[in-house]
Amino acid sequence: MDTPFLFTPRKSEDFWKELEDINQPTYVPEHASSFTQTQLVPELYTKDEINEIFHGICGEHEKNKEAFQMKLDGVYYPLNDSINWLTTCMEEMKKDIARIQNTTDTARPPSIDRRQPQSIKRRQSPSLARRHHASINNVWPH
């Protein structure tokens, strides 16, 4: 039984001809007016022309830099104001928390355990090392 083709087989010369046709530019007369013809730039420039081009580029660069600075200022200053406002709010909250803590500390009743030592074993037994004075000349008892 033959396997059906999922595509139509083509001769290789047809394929290359179609590929060549696809890569050729297509001229559509109704769209010809949409394009403008560019003039070729002369290959050699005088010093004055080069200076004029250079200053034109520098001028555009300055305009772009000023526009960028304006956009940056439009973001930076509102953001900075918001950060300053949040910092002020945090400082006020810290003061409020400290005030509340002081109020609750003075209003808190004394603990019932206040006179009890913190540990059952209040006095620690002295170390064995304190009872024996070590010396090089000491002889160990037998």
Chain segment 59-77, per-residue pLDDT in tens: 888 888 999 999 999 999 9
- Give me the mean pLDDT over the 12-37 stretch: 66
pLDDT, mean over the chain: 74
Residue 126, pLDDT above cutoff 70: no
Domain count within the chain: 1
Q: Dump pLDDT digits (tens) for 11-20.
A: 566 766 776 7
Residue 92 belongs to some domain of the structure: yes
Which of 6-15, 22-31, 49-58, 80-89 has the weakest average pLDDT? 6-15
Whether residue 86 lies inside any domain: the answer is yes
Q: 99 is in which domain, residue-wise?
A: 75-104
Tens-place pLDDT, residues 92-124? 999 999 999 988 887 776 666 666 655 666 555
- CA-to-CA distance for 42 and 31, rounded, in angstroms? 29
- Judge whether 89 lies within some domain: yes
- Tell me the C-alpha distance between 61 and 114, whole Å: 76
Flag whether 61 is in a domain: no
4 pLDDT above the threshold of 60? no
Phi-psi region of 131 (alpha: psi -120 to 50; beta: other; left: phi over 0): alpha
Q: Is residue 83 part of a domain?
A: yes
Q: Does a structural domain hold residue 35?
A: no
Higher-pLDDT residue of 132 and 55 is: 55
Phi, psi (rounded to 5 degrees) for 78 = -60, -40
Query: Is residue 141, in this structure, part of any structural domain at all?
Result: no
Tell me how far CA of residue 62 lies from CA of 49, 66, 77, in angstroms: 20, 6, 22
Residue whose tokens read 């006095």: 123
**Backbone φ and ψ of 111, nearest 5°:** -70, 145
> Which pTM was predicted?
0.35
Q: Three-class SS of residue 2? A: coil
Q: For residue 52, tell me if it sits in a domain.
A: no
Q: How far apart are the first and last CA of the chain?
A: 110
Reply yes or no on whether the pLDDT at 80 is more than 80.
yes
